């Protein structure tokens, strides 16, 4: 088989055969197909698409490029969640211990952040001593003992995806629905979860800016789940505003702990409970306790402590604090109606909370804290945001991101309508 023939077939809008897909994904992973040939194919797929059969086969080929994790019998049903990424999206942190406290086991194999959305591992690495890399034996043991693991994906899991995603990132071919869907689903299927809830973010702070595009991705992923016998639900959720009041690694861990202790911002609580309910449904735990009650009672907090301690972290250690903090104040009187998610995410990123390139390091304490919520009256000079960083030369760039239209102050309190967090559900 020749890589050029496969590229030409897709360039000419033909369906790829199963043999072509298996061959090119395998040969690319082994280094037998050049990056420029795979880049040409990714561009042809971005422009001409793949149908459901091709996408399911592409996903299978990516799974087959590595090993499936054998998590064996951990004594409870396995169920996982994936978020397409958003600003202040720390939901995984309270969610995994909550779902474990309700009786399921959560194998959350996660990634690091790139750009303005933070990665779950970066957040947890703000906790002194916490370790992201676990062996399969350690993952299995922790699932059996604690019920929840959040760790780095193992190198043997869908290696084709790692290579292809890095190539797509530098060739303008990330934004293809079949390629995004197969990338996400191959890792989750290879991980061996028994059910999957997808949180597909929509809005300025998300990868998918419109409900139509997010719906397309949700449909593609749920269909791949169906084709692979993995019960999958996708929720389309709002990412026009940051989730909660904290954006940045240590700041988000602190907010997640508040939620686990029964407090925290209402939107973070609502989304955590909604996703937990769907995960328990997919896990078949019809008699599980009500996740809203479990969370409010603080009963998920000991699971969090056990989960962090099992990975070497000290859950009671003070979190890093930024050496420099500045505030952003209101420039007029009115009612605060919200902050734009992309603007706040960009500010946090510029303060050092995120990375521009994969090899960059992040500042654990950097980020943004919102001091007011939608509907709060403000006057000119009222502090709206805190900017946190260890490197004060970053303040100027962060301030530029959160000026003008990024912070909405309106004259009419009725213009601050409550937020619809869950926009649609795809099963
Ligand atoms: N996240 C992934 O894991 N893969 C993609 O292709 C895009 C986002």
The structure tokens listed for 351 are 């303060």
Q: Whose CA is nearest to atom 7 of ligand 1?
A: 180
- Please report the pLDDT score of residue 396 as a whole number: 98
pLDDT digits (tens, 9 = 90+) for 330-364: 999 999 999 999 999 999 999 999 987 777 889 99
Q: What percent of the chain has pLDDT over 90?
A: 88
Note the pLDDT of residue 244: 97
> What is the token pair recorded at 75?
């004594």
DSSP state of 237: E
Q: Is the CB of 165 under 6 A from ligand 1?
A: yes
List the residue whose alpha carbon is closest to atom 5 of ligand 1. Answer: 180
CA dist 259 and 348 (Å) reads 21
For residue 174, report the distance from its CA to the centre of ligand 1, in Å: 8
The mean pLDDT value for 54-67 works out to 97
Helix (H) or strand (E) holding 291: helix 291-297
Please say if the pLDDT value at position 413 is more than 80: no
Q: How many whole angstroms from 183 Cα to the centroid of ligand 1?
A: 6
How close is the Cα of 427 to the center of ligand 1, in Å? 20
**Mean pLDDT score of the chain, rounded to an integer?**
95
Question: Which of these is catalytic: 57, 81, 82, 388?
Answer: 82
Query: Is 82 noted as a catalytic residue in this protein?
Result: yes
- Quick check: CB of 401 below 6 Å from ligand 1? no
State the pLDDT at residue 218.
98
378 C-alpha to ligand 1 centroid (Å): 39
pLDDT of residue 192: 94
- Please tell me the predicted confidence (pLDDT) of residue 408: 87
Answer yes or no: are the C-beta atoms of 242 and 199 closer than 8 Å: no
Residue of 161, 199, 267, 340 with catalytic role: 161
pLDDT at position 415 over 90:
no
Query: b vs e for 283-298, b when ≥16 Cβ sit within 10 Å of the residue's Cβ?
Result: bebeebeebbebbbee
Instruction: Give the residue, by CA position, lying nearest to ligand 1 atom 1.
Output: 184
ipTM value for the complex = 0.96
161: annotated active-site residue = yes
Question: Are 189 and 71 a contacting pair, CB within 8 Å?
Answer: no
Amino acid 114: pLDDT? 66
Nearest-angstrom CA–CA distance, 38 and 287? 48
35 in catalytic set: no
203-249 tens-digit pLDDT: 999 989 999 999 999 999 999 999 999 999 999 999 999 999 999 99
The DSSP output letter for 32 is -
**CB of 183 closer than 6 angstroms to any ligand 1 atom:** yes
Mean pLDDT value of segment 27-32: 97
**3-state secondary structure at position 387:** strand
The predicted structure's pLDDT at residue 417? 74
Which domains does the chain possess? Answer: 3-49 (1.20.970.10), 80-310 (3.40.1030.10), 324-415 (3.90.1170.30)
Helix-, strand-, coil-residue percentages of the chain, each rounded to 5: 45, 15, 40
- Any residues with CB less than 8 A from the CB of 307 and at least 6 apart, and which? 96, 97, 100, 142, 146, 148, 149, 150
Concatenating the DSSP letter of every residue in 324-379 gives EEEEEE-SSSEEEEEE-HHHHHHHHIIIIIS-SSTT----TT-EEEE---TT-EE-
Which ligand 1 atom minimizes the distance to the CA of 207? 8
Residue nearest to atom 2 of ligand 1 (CA): 184
């Amino acid at each position: 088989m020749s890589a050029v023939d496969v590229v030409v077939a897709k360039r000419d809008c033909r369906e790829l055969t199963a043999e072509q897909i298996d061959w090119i994904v395998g040969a690319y992973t082994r280094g037998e197909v050049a990056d420029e040939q795979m880049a040409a194919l990714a561009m042809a797929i971005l422009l001409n698409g793949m149908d459901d059969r091709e996408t399911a086969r592409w996903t299978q080929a990516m799974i087959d490029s590595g090993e499936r994790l054998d998590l064996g019998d951990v004594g409870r049903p396995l169920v996982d969640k994936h978020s397409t990424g958003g600003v202040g999206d720390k939901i995984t942190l309270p969610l995994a211990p909550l779902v474990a406290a309700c009786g399921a086991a959560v194998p959350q194999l996660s990634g690091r952040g790139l750009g303005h959305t933070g990665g779950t591992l970066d957040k947890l690495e703000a906790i002194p001593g916490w370790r992201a890399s676990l062996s399969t034996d350690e993952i299995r043991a922790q699932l059996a003992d604690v019920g929840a693991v959040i760790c780095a994906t193992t190198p043997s899991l869908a290696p084709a995806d790692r290579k292809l995603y890095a190539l797509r990132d530098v060739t303008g071919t990330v934004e293809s629905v079949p390629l995004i869907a197969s990338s996400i689903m191959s890792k989750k299927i290879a991980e061996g979860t028994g059910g999957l809830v997808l949180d597909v973010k929509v809005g300025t702070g998300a990868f998918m800016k419109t409900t139509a595009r997010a719906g397309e991705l949700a449909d593609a992923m749920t269909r791949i789940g169906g084709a692979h016998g993995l019960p999958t639900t996708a929720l389309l959720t709002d990412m026009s505003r940051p989730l909660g009041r904290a954006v940045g690694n240590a700041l988000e861990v602190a907010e997640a702990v508040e939620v686990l202790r029964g407090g925290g911002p209402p939107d973070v609580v609502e989304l955590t409970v909604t996703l937990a309910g769907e995960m328990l449904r997919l896990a078949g735990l019809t008699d599980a306790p009500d996740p809203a009650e479990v969370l409010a009672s603080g009963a998920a907090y000991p699971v969090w402590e056990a989960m962090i301690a099992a990975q070497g972290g000290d859950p009671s250690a003070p979190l890093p604090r930024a050496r420099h903090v500045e505030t952003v104040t209101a420039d007029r009187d009115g009612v605060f109606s919200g902050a734009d998610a992309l603007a706040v995410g960009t500010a946090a990123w510029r303060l050092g909370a995120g990375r521009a390139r994969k090899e960059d390091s992040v500042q654990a304490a950097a980020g943004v804290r919102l001091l007011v919520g939608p509907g709060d009256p403000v006057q000119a000079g009222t502090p709206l945001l805190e900017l946190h960083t260890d490197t004060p030369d970053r303040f100027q760039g962060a301030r530029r991101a959160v000026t003008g239209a990024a912070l909405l102050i309106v004259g009419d309190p009725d213009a601050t309508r409550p937020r619809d967090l869950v926009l649609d559900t795809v099963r």
